[in-house]
């Protein structure tokens, strides 16, 4: 007779695996909440209602892309420029999705779609590491995604509703939220000298192009140029 107790220990129920994902994603929640609050405050300063700010975060979950969009809107960029720039910034998710797809083989389309919706830099890092350790499945990855989404939306809601009481958000340096977010992502993802070199090249391109090109073109061309140089040098 098979040992059912051993099987249950080898494969915990879905609820336990989901709860484990929530625990793995708790640091993401703690990191997303304050940046989401900054997004909510800045969005309100640009004329968004609390509902509109929350819907933006609830349906997009693209922290860096959303902050860049606000920066462009504040600078008077056209809708086409905003869409194009955020699309370029978020192109990295195509690569993240391709890497994660090998761990989603056999999942129903609705489960793959949910994981794709909650795919961010941080959830990718947590889930890909958990997959390499052989522990991840849909339920654990879903737990990571849910708590990450909750942190971003909850932070946005807090910032949006508190914006009037806070007043001018620039007094608190919230305009630094975007560069701070990218800096944190760089530190977390720079694994070797090639990554550091690519970041330095991108920074050099951005500074040089910013002096000669208007928004948002230097934001678009700098990462493309740095990625091209990195690809050629590390071929």
Tens digit of each residue's pLDDT (9 = 90 or more) over 124-145 = 988 988 888 888 999 999 999 9
189: confidence class by pLDDT, cuts 50, 70, 90:
low
C-alpha span between 210 and 155 (Å, rounded): 31
7: confidence class by pLDDT, cuts 50, 70, 90:
very low
C-alpha span between 158 and 161 (Å, rounded): 5
**Model confidence at 5: pLDDT above 60:** no
215: confidence class by pLDDT, cuts 50, 70, 90:
low
**Model confidence at 171: pLDDT above 90:** no
* Average of per-residue pLDDT across 68-82: 87
* Average of per-residue pLDDT across 169-192: 70
* Average of per-residue pLDDT across 35-46: 90
**Model confidence at 6: pLDDT above 60:** no
* Preceding omega of 216 cis (within 30 degrees of 0): yes
C-alpha span between 85 and 104 (Å, rounded): 29
- Looking at residue 100, its pLDDT comes to 92
Q: Is the whole model's pTM more than 0.85, yes or no?
A: no
**Model confidence at 2: pLDDT above 70:** no
- Looking at residue 169, its pLDDT comes to 66
Query: Per the structure block, which two tokens stand in for 69?
Result: 């969009």
**Model confidence at 178: pLDDT above 80:** no
Query: Per the structure block, which two tokens stand in for 24?
Result: 């793995």
Kindly report the number of other CB atoms within 10 A of residue 48's CB atom. 20
- Looking at residue 229, its pLDDT comes to 82
Query: Per the structure block, which two tokens stand in for 72?
Result: 């462009």
């Amino acid at each position: 007779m098979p040992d059912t107790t051993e099987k249950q220990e080898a494969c915990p129920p879905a609820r336990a695996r989901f709860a484990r994902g929530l625990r793995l994603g708790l640091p993401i929640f703690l990191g997303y909440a304050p940046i989401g609050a900054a997004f909510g405050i800045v969005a309100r300063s640009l004329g968004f209602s609390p509902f509109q700010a929350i819907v933006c975060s609830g349906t997009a979950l693209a922290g860096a892309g959303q902050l860049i969009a606000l920066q462009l809107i504040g600078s008077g960029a056209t809708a086409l420029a905003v869409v194009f720039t955020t699309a370029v910034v978020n192109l990295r998710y195509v690569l993240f999705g391709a890497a994660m797809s090998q761990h989603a083989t056999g999942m129903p389309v609705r489960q793959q779609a949910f994981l794709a919706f909650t795919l961010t830099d941080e959830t990718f890092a947590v889930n890909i590491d958990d997959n390499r350790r052989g522990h991840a499945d849909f339920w654990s990855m879903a737990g990571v995604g849910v708590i990450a989404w909750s942190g971003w939306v909850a932070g946005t809601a807090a910032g949006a509703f508190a914006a009037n009481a806070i007043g001018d958000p620039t007094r608190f340096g919230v305009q630094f939220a975007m560069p701070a977010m990218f800096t944190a992502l760089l530190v977390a993802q720079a694994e070797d000298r090639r990554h550091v070199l690519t970041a330095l090249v991108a920074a050099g391109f951005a500074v040089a192009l910013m002096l000669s090109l208007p928004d948002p073109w230097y934001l678009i061309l700098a990462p493309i140029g740095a990625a091209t140089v990195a690809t050629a040098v590390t071929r």
